[in-house]
Amino acid sequence: MPELRRDPIVGRWVIIAKERGKRPHDFVVPEEKVKGGFCPLCPGHEYTTPPEVLAYGRPPGAPPNSPGWTLRVVPNKFPALRIEGELWKEGEGIYDKMNGIGAHEVIIETPNHHETLADMPLDRLVQVFWAYRDRMVDLSRDSRFRYVIIFKNQGRAAGASLEHSHSQLIALPIVPLLVSQELKGSKLYYDYKERCIFCDIIRQELQTGTRVVCENHEFVAICAFAPRQPFEMWVIPKRHHSDYRSIDDAQFQALAEIFSEILKRLQSAIPRCPYNFVLHTAPLREPYLEHYHWHFEILPKLTQIAGFEWGTGFYITPTTPEDAAHFLREIKLGEGGHNGGE
């Protein structure tokens, strides 16, 4: 019998079609042609991107936009939103619109064209999470922005248009609907229970254990109770805080460790698995919130969004999160693997 499950935060229902019972090897991702040719994100090609807004790793005194970096952040050459101008809002009869003020940046995670987050050394993965915070802190000084969304598209099927590993950041003049729903859902829970729903999720998941992929001192990685895609994972900090900008050194290290581990497990279970991940954090202008809890959501791109999903906001997934977590835990990681740093 299939099962309907409700995401406790936003109230979204999903259908777990157990009978379809897909295991990792049922998801075969076609091998992508390695495109030769020119990569604008590779070292030596800095002149092809807009001037960088952040770089790590160059020796002191080295000029900006030159090689020698280990991580580099540049404005998107084809931005969805533009940084210049005043924000205006206006109506068009019954409709509302505003101009597309915002920032759209590319975080070039590595100088090595073929390196992915899953096989990157930990100290450089730490830099990626540092860069997210540095850019959020900088962009929050701009009073026009109300939200910074940070996300990654890995693999063509997940929407990546460049092969060289990178994440993206978009600063928005509004708080997106899904973020508002998440805030509202967790506030409702808090008003009723006086507890953070994410803290309760951590407690319950660690107690039952069936959906836990791995954990360390600072973080737990679980397969989501009501997933939108097979093998959907959430990485949640054990210490309560609503804002990613509060992250500290111990957390940076532990976050890199757990991310490295779950991505290795995922790639090992489903070779070349395309995925998206998104940082969920409070809006820029919010104070510390008792009811909200920052975290990452990782969505492998293994099933199609089709008419049913467009019409309902409902998702059908053919793998239970308990099975997914079990498969991922059972993966034997080879050398260079991490088991949570414990």
The span from the CA of 338 to the CA of 186, in Å, is 32
Angle between helices 321-330 and 249-269 (to 10 degrees): 100
| 228 interacts with a second copy by CB under 8 A | yes
Chain residues 109-168 in contact with a second copy, contact rule CB under 8 A: 149, 151-153, 157-160, 168
Q: Which is nearer to a second copy, 47 or 95 (CB)?
A: 95
Cβ contact 152:123 at 8 Å:
no
Cβ contact 159:133 at 8 Å:
no
Among residues 316, 326, 329, 340, which is the contact residue for a second copy, using CB under 8 A?
316
Query: Least distance (Å) from a second copy to the CB of residue 145?
Result: 13
Chain residues 207-226 in contact with a second copy, contact rule CB under 8 A: 208, 225-226
Among residues 38, 47, 78, 192, which is the contact residue for a second copy, using CB under 8 A?
78
Among residues 29, 39, 54, 81, which is the contact residue for a second copy, using CB under 8 A?
81
Query: Within 13 Å, how many C-alpha atoms sit on residue 89's CB side?
Result: 5
* 166 a catalytic residue: yes
39 annotated ligand-binding residue: yes
280 annotated ligand-binding residue: no
Query: Least distance (Å) from a second copy to the CB of residue 161?
Result: 9
The span from the CA of 304 to the CA of 295, in Å, is 25
| 194 interacts with a second copy by CB under 8 A | no
Query: Least distance (Å) from a second copy to the CB of residue 296?
Result: 10
- Which residues fall within 8 angstroms of residue 279, CB to CB, at 6 or more apart? 132, 149, 150, 151, 244, 294, 296
The span from the CA of 16 to the CA of 320, in Å, is 6
Angle between helices 177-193 and 197-208 (to 10 degrees): 80
Coil, strand, or helix at residue 131? helix
For 12, 128, 223, 229, 248, the CA distances from 226, given in Å and listed in that order, are: 8, 28, 9, 9, 30
Q: Which is nearer to a second copy, 122 or 206 (CB)?
A: 206
Q: Choosing from 104, 166, 240, 280, which is the catalytic residue?
A: 166
Chain residues 3-42 in contact with a second copy, contact rule CB under 8 A: 3-6, 8, 10-13, 15-17, 19-20
Query: Least distance (Å) from a second copy to the CB of residue 250?
Result: 26
Among residues 40, 43, 75, 100, which is the contact residue for a second copy, using CB under 8 A?
100
Query: Least distance (Å) from a second copy to the CB of residue 63?
Result: 30
Catalytic positions, written as ranges: 166
Q: Pick out the residues of the known binding site.
A: 39, 42, 113, 164
Q: Pick out the residues of the known binding site for Zn(2+).
A: 39, 42, 113, 164
